[in-house]
Amino acid sequence: MDRAEAESIRAMHRSDVASATSPRSKPLKQPHGTEEFPEGATIVAGPDGKPYPVAAVWRRALARIIDAVTVFFIQWMLTVIQLLWFMDDVSNRWQPEPWGRATAAILGYIFFHFMYTMVFLRWNEGQTPAMDLMKLRAVRTKDGSHLGLGRCGARWLVGGVSWLVPPVVLGGIIVNAATYLTVPFERRRRTVSDWVAGTTVIAYDRDKEDPDGELEEVLDEFGQPMSVREQIRRKYGLFGGLTGMGRRLGDRYRDDGRSPRDSQRH
C-alpha cells in the first residue's frame, strides 16, 4: 500500500467518525470499550472527555420517583425514632391554607429533598443513589464537566418547590411530570429543570467507566482489588473523610505494633 492510499483510508475514517457525532457536541475521544451506542442515540461529552449517549427518559423518570420515595422514608424514619419530635406539635399549632395540618411535613420533606439532592449531585459527581442505580449522571451541557453548587440548586428548584403546589402530593407529581414536556422537542432530551440549570443527563455506568481514563487495579486494605465504584466512593463519597480517618488510625496502630483493642485495655 503506497502513501496516497494510506492517506485516503485515514481521511475516510475521519469523515466516518465526524458524521457519527453531532457538530454541537463533539467528543474528545472515542467511546470507551467495544460496546456500540444505540442506533440514533445523541452523543455528548462527559467529564472525562469521552462521548456518552443521552439517558433514556424512562430511566430518568424512574430515578426521580425512587429518590422521592427514598427521601420520604428518611423523613418517616427520623419521625419514628423521635429525632423530629417537634413535628406533631408544629402541625397542630400551624395549619395555614391550603395545606392545613400537612404544612410542617411538606416543608420538612422539601428541606430533606433539597439536602439529599445537593449533597449527592455535588459530592457524588452528579449522581443521586437512584441515578447511580439507573446508571445516569448529570453533567454540564456546555462542556460535560461536573456540577457546581449553583447548578445543583437550580436543577433541584423546579421539581423541589413543586411539592408546595396543592393539592398535596398530587400537585408535586403533576408539576414534576410537566417538566418532561420539553423532552420531545430537545435534541438532548432535557427537561425544564435541565434548561434552568444548563445540564444534561447521560447514560453512565460507574462500574465500567474509569474516572481517570485508565483502568488500574487498586487493592484495598485486605489486598483485594477494588471496583471503580469503590475507588470513587472512597475518594469522593459522602463518608469518605470518616473512612479515611479510620484507615489512617489503623495504619498508626499497625506501625506502633499494637491493635486498637490493646490501646483500649490501657
pLDDT > 80? residue 164: yes
What does the pLDDT read at residue 259? 45
Confidence of residue 34 (pLDDT cuts 50, 70, 90): very low
What does the pLDDT read at residue 235? 60
pLDDT digits (tens, 9 = 90+) for 97-106: 888 888 899 9
Q: Cα–Cα distance between 101 and 105 in angstroms, integer?
A: 8
pTM above 0.85, yes or no: no
Confidence of residue 242 (pLDDT cuts 50, 70, 90): very low
User: CA separation (Å) from 225 to 150, 164, 221, 232?
Assistant: 36, 47, 10, 14
What does the pLDDT read at residue 139? 95
pLDDT > 90? residue 227: no
Cα dihedral: 108, 178, 202, 142 (round 10)? -100
Instruction: Return the higher-pLDDT residue of 206 and 198.
Output: 198
For the chain, what are the domain ranges? 53-203, 218-265
pLDDT digits (tens, 9 = 90+) for 117-142: 999 999 998 999 999 999 999 999 98
pLDDT > 80? residue 245: no
What does the pLDDT read at residue 37? 63
pLDDT > 90? residue 32: no
The average confidence (pLDDT) of the chain is 77
pLDDT digits (tens, 9 = 90+) for 179-203: 999 998 888 999 999 999 999 999 9
163 in Cβ contact with 229 (< 8 Å): no
pLDDT > 90? residue 88: no
pLDDT > 70? residue 217: no
pLDDT > 80? residue 218: no
pLDDT > 80? residue 155: yes
What does the pLDDT read at residue 261? 45
Q: Percentage of residues in the chain with pLDDT exceeding 90?
A: 38
pLDDT > 50? residue 20: no
Confidence of residue 36 (pLDDT cuts 50, 70, 90): low
